Amino acid sequence: MSVVACTAGDPKKENTSGPVTDTLPPVETSKPNTNYSPAFKGQTRINGMKTKTPFTGKVLTDKLSRPWGMTALPDGRLLITQKAGTMVIVSATGKVSDPITGIPGVNSKGQGGLLGITLDPEFSNNRMVYWVFSESTPDGNLTAVAKGRLANNEKTIENAQIIYRATPAHNSNLHYGGRILFDKDGYLFVSTGERSDIQTRPQAQQLNSALGKVLRITKEGKPAPGNPFENKPEDHPEIWSYGHRNVQGLAINPVTRDLWGSEFGPLGGDEINLIMPGKNYGWPTITYGLEYSGATIGNGITQKEGMEQPVYYWDPVISPSGMVFCSSANIPEWKNNLFVCGLSGQHIARLRIENNRVTGEERILSKEGQRFRDIIQGKDGNLYTVTDQGRLYKLEKK
């Protein structure tokens, strides 16, 4: 087990007895890809901050195979999905179980695979698990949601069934979205991508398509009651929000209970959004990014009436994936902060959020050289994060 020591910043830089004011420069120092101006102060390149409490990043194991999503079992062990199509359980000491069987086959090409995972709120009684994966169909590939019971011996998923398919299918192996979590009412939020191609991008704006959306469904895969488009028969009633590019992070603020999402931009324009029902998040009409060729996207605009602005964006990108709000006070200044996995950024972004605005940013584990894929809060109140290279880290106070 290796340990990364993370030291505190200068205490003079932070006032921990009252409202925090940071004088550190922004953590992003590279030149942006665009010359777009933010819509409001603090929308990008906010002041930097440093964690005052000394903490460590312990590598519990490096034996995972392309982990993608994870959730904490009631006893604190972690149930983890692996991209190629397997689930494993990892103990507190980092012991990795044999692969769990009984899972429907996945299309693991490109960005596909076995993706996000969550437990039924009544898992202690029913042992039900829900997950997202990329499925191959005769019409193409799509984002699917499945559920099944974790057997008592934890060696298999029993009676696995697919409960939802995000149509239309498309012959692309990109932009599946893939996060899943329960809301306070026992319904599932699921994110999808717009499948990346120029011809499918417009479907992010179309309410008769499940591409480029955040969805809200029941445990049976039906539209959840109270969804914003439930009384419009021409629309998909499972849609919660639309105009998304590729949402790979979903998290619920423990104080406000609001849903937040992380979204991949193209060349520039990665976003953090406050996800509200029925709202349009703009892709591909507005964006703070460019085509990978450097060309402008659409009309090259960043704002339009009726379309939501990101609360925060990055240019250049960090490729934000899984994220979580920390509700624990194990490290006091982390409480209620948002932690976002950076893939190309190779760090965890810690964002302090006040009144739905980002007021400080820190980069954690930035010297590890890892592509961080998912992060959760464990039953012990510590944060756990996995990387594409197969590591599982535990972040805890020294």
Q: Which residues are catalytic?
A: 175
Q: Do the beta carbons of residue 221 and residue 163 sit within 8 Å?
A: yes
In whole angstroms, give the CA distance from residue 390 to residue 360: 29
Tokens 């810690």 identify what position? 350
CA distances in angstroms from 119 to 72, 123, 184, 339, 393, listed in the order given:
8, 6, 13, 21, 21
Which two tokens mark 94? 């980092």
Residue of 134, 232, 150, 151 lying closest to 192 (CA atoms): 134
Q: Which two tokens stand for residue 301?
A: 């605009």
What is the DSSP-derived secondary structure letter of residue 52? -
SS3 of residue 359 by DSSP: strand
H-helix or E-strand spanning residue 157: strand 157-170
| 52-55 long-range contacts, CB within 8 A, separation 24+ | 52/8, 52/9, 52/11, 52/14, 52/16, 52/333, 53/8, 53/331, 53/332, 53/333, 53/397, 54/5, 54/6, 54/7, 54/8, 54/397, 54/398, 55/6, 55/331, 55/395, 55/396, 55/397, 55/398
Amino acid at 303: Q
